Structure 1
Amino acid sequence: MLRLTYLLAKRGPQVALVLGVLALVAFGAAGWTATHPPTTDVTDRENAQRATLAFDANATVTENTSLYDSGTVLRDPAVIPREAPTLRMTATLASSNASFDSVTQTVTLVYSATRDGETFWTRRVPLTTRTASDTRALATPVAIDTERVRERLATHRADVGGAGTVSVAVRANATYTLAGYTGTVTERAPLTFHGDWYDAATPSNARDHDTPRTRTVPVPSARLVPPPALGGLGAVLALTAAGVLAWHRAYRPSLAAVAEDLHRHRYDAWISAGRVPPDTADAVVDVATLEDLVDVAIDVDGRVVHDAESGHYVVLTPAARYRYTPRANSTED
């Protein structure tokens, strides 16, 4: 505390100036961070649209079986008996939230032969094509003679032999314009044939459209020190600077007195309180500073005695009396 008092008594205006400059810096930083927050880019997806192409299937039993009566309609079944030979499949293209400006959908029966995952032969049999405009959905139904498909599949498998694997699927392809977008979506529904049954997969596929829009937004959580905290720090520094300056002008103590107190505190371990008798015939040596007197005490392995009544600091030795007298009421800056 004495060191701070000494510093302020000696350099009060300079300390106030430094604090004032720091306050201005804090206020400037607060203003800059408030008007220039950290930002990040956010991408919005506008005009989002989805076009979904899905299959459904059904078949009607035409002969009584142990499982089904004639006339029973099987919808999206896993297993369809041969007694329901006509497979009705519908490919439907639907929009999520807007109408198609135009749409064309083609359904094709596709035979293909593959080997090691590579297709080396394909035959496409067109089934139907439909076109519409200003519609939310377009359904394209087809009727498939599964017995005829079974026969053709057997013929193609016999012709390919061991060279590959022959399969058949219903393929739907839809081309459309939707809310300013142009797109195509395709899906395949494989047909599987075994002894007395067959099945038809009913998969679906979707295509999404959107328009990205990038915008810059502030990220308050990324600020190391928020503007209010910087502003508060600036206010504290400004008030402290004003207080230091006011104290220095109105209440500053004598610099010499503060220095004496500082030295007394520093060498307190070497100073003892006591009563020094009046000067005798011993030689009296006046020293310039308390620090010098403490050095004398250290050299003679003695102690400094402080007489509070007279204010003298004395080191007594057989040969001489070493004395330091503080400069009372000094006005030294």
Structure 2
Amino acid sequence: MIDNPRLELLLAEYGRPIVIALVVIGALALLASGWAVANPSTTTEAQYGEERVSSDLQTSAVVVQDGTLWNEGDRLENSEVYMLNASPELTLEAGTELRNESGGTPIDDGEVTHELEVRYEATRNDQSFWNESHTVIDGSPAVEDGVATSETTVDVESYRDRQQELESELSGVGDVDMAFVLHVEYDTGTNQGTQRESTMFRVTDTAYWLEESVSASDTHTHQTGTIETTESQSLAAIAGLSLLGTLSLAAGAFVARRSPIDEDAARRAVHERRYAEWISRGSIPMWIGDYHVSLDTLEDVVDVAIDTNERVVHDTQRGLFAVVNDGVVYYYSERGLWEETAWPEMNLEEQPAVADGEPALSADEMELEGNEEFADPEDGFDDDEDVWQKL
């Protein structure tokens, strides 16, 4: 017995749908947990590689005569300044490195093209109005160990002379600047691109230098493949689904075993629990009250008790709920009218049948012999109340 009348009533009214719903939920939950175990999750992750292409312009010069600072044959590399008399020729080396940064390995199957120009540009008020370019390097060197190199040597005095010639032509009109412009094209097999950098080339009567270093670097990212990772489903989810399925099936079996439940009895139990503070258990005599009013529901009896400030008496033997007020009995009973509640309910179908060979007694044989108590009404009881008390 469930000590919850409302739950009893719910099961009485919707027991079959509840059992079906619990069984369906339990079956689905167990199937879902089984599917989760049999089908681990698979994630696909893309793998990426990174390539770097770096280019620069290196300078060097060989000393052609002894002096205070250097000796003949000395080689100066990437110097901040070169003396024109000591080193009249400048060697320019354009280099490009192709490297796979992901694997840390050089790219040997790439292609590189170098183009180096010397550019003269006339400006006025910082605005260019004339320019002239001469190609110094133009080649596609082989890539060895990931590096491609192009080299040339220039006569610095010839460049100075040409700059002075242009300045003489534009005297009083504008200035003439000289610059080296490096243009690189590359193809790594996976990525392609171009690089362009420049720097001013300053030449005086005694020295020359590159105003800024020339360098460029590009980074390319590309997809190299995918990796599939297989992981089992969440153990917490599987355990939760299994527990839900087991509990649902167990609850369905429990409800099914309790069916069928007497709906009227369950509803009466709910009302008894709800109005327990107005109901007392007791025994109600048959003869009490002058008038007997049959009400339809227990709630009606409780309403009368509340209105009259009386108690509802529950006679369990008679299955009766009643309120007595000023000689009037307001009652409710599932057995029917007041008189029908006098005797306990009996199931005649379960009584044993008359034994074979023993005929039922006739009306004449059913005499009350030897019982003087009922022989004369005047010698018996005065009224029904005495008869009830005697019984």
What are structure 2's unaligned runs of at least 5 residues? 100-105, 336-343, 347-391
Quote the offset at 1:130 in angstroms.
4.0
User: Is contact 2:60–2:92 with CA below 8 Å preserved after alignment?
Assistant: yes
Work out whether residues 22 and 251 of structure 2, in 8 Å CA contact, stay in contact via their aligned partners in 1: no
AA matched with 1:14? P
The residue type paired with residue 99 of structure 1 is D
Contact 1:22 1:234 in 2 (8 A): no
In structure 1, runs of 5+ residues without a counterpart are 221-225
Match in the other structure for 1:303: 311
Residue 110 (1) aligns with residue 112 (2): no
- Measured after TM superposition, the shift of residue 260 of structure 1 is 1.9
Q: Distance in 2 between matches of 1:162 and 1:294?
A: 121
From 321, 328, 331, give the equivalent of 1:320.
Answer: 328
Partner of 1:123: 132
Q: Percent identity?
A: 24
Greater mean alpha carbon deviation, residues 157-166 or residues 131-140: 157-166
Alignment coverage as a number of residue pairs: 320
Aligned equivalent of 1:268, options 273, 276, 283: 276
Change (3 A) 1:264 1:174: same
Secondary structure, in 3 states, of the residue corresponding to 1:19? helix
Question: Any conservation in 1 of the 2:113–2:141 contact (CA below 8 Å)?
Answer: yes
What's the counterpart of residue 90 of structure 1?
93
**1:171 alignment partner in structure 2:** 181
Call closer, same or farther: CA 1:300–1:264 in 2, change over 3 Å: same
Deviates more, 1:108-117 or 1:287-296: 108-117
Correspondence list, 1:54-203, <5 A: 54-60=56-62, 62=65, 64=67, 68-70=69-71, 73-82=75-84, 83-96=86-99, 97-100=106-109, 102-114=111-123, 119-133=128-142, 135=144, 136-161=146-171, 165-179=175-189, 184-193=194-203, 197-200=207-210, 201-203=212-214
Distance (Å, rounded) in 1 between the aligned partners of 2:30 and 2:112:
63
Partner amino acid, structure 2, of 1:107? L
Superposition TM-score, scaled by structure 1 size: 0.73
Cα offsets for 1:112-153 (capped at 9, x unmatched): 234677644222223344444453323222223334323332
CA distance in 2, matches of 1:155, 1:27: 94
Cα distance, 1:27 vs. partner?
6.3
| Cα distance in structure 1, aligned partners of 2:299 and 2:257 | 30
2:380 matched residue in structure 1? none
Distance in 1 of aligned mates of 2:182 and 2:17: 86
Q: Which residue of 2 aligns with 1:291?
A: 299
Q: CA deviation at 1:317?
A: 1.0
1:259 Cα deviation after fit: 1.8
CA distance, structure 2, for counterparts of residue 44 and residue 294 of structure 1: 78
Structure with more strand by fraction:
1
**Helix, strand or coil at the partner of 1:302:** coil
Q: CA deviation at 1:256?
A: 3.1
Report deviation, 1:103.
Answer: 4.2
Measured in 1, the distance between the counterparts of 2:253 and 2:313 equals: 38
Change (3 A) 1:329 1:4: farther
Q: Distance in 1 between matches of 2:26 and 2:126?
A: 75
SS at match of 2:326: coil
Distance 1:101 1:263 in 2: 91
Q: In the alignment, what sits opposite 1:257?
A: 265
Distance of 2:292 and 2:116 partners within structure 1: 126
* C-alpha contact (below 8 Å) 2:47/2:227 kept by paired residues: no
Tell me the CA shift for residue 295 of structure 1.
1.8
Structure 2 vs 1, CA of residues 329 and 183 (structure 1 numbering), >3 Å: closer, same or farther? farther
* Paired residues of 2:25 and 2:248 also in contact (CA < 8 A): no
Please report how far the alpha carbon of residue 264 of structure 1 lies from its aligned counterpart in structure 2 after TM superposition. 1.1
Give, in whole Å, the separation in 1 of the partners of 2:187 and 2:122.
Answer: 34
Residues 36, 169 of structure 1: alpha-carbon distance in 2 compared, 3 angstrom cutoff: farther
Measured after TM superposition, the shift of residue 207 of structure 1 is 4.4
Offset from partner CA, 1:22-71 (integer Å, 9 cap, x none): 44565677759x9797989x66545x544332111234555645xx3445
Kindly state the Cα deviation for residue 167 of structure 1 after the two structures are TM-superposed.
2.2
Per mean C-alpha deviation after superposition, the further-off stretch among 151-160 and 305-314 is 305-314
RMSD of aligned Cα (Å): 4.3
> Which range moves more in the overlay, 185-194 or 227-236?
227-236
Q: Is the 8 A contact 1:86 1:146 kept in 2?
A: yes
Equivalent position of 2:13 in the other structure: 10
Q: Residue type matched to 2:158 in 1?
A: R
Partner Cα separation in structure 2 for residue 149 and residue 314 of structure 1: 128
Against the structure 1 CA distance between its residues 178 and 301, is the aligned structure 2 distance closer, same or farther, given a 3 Å change threshold? same
* Aligned equivalent of 2:369: none
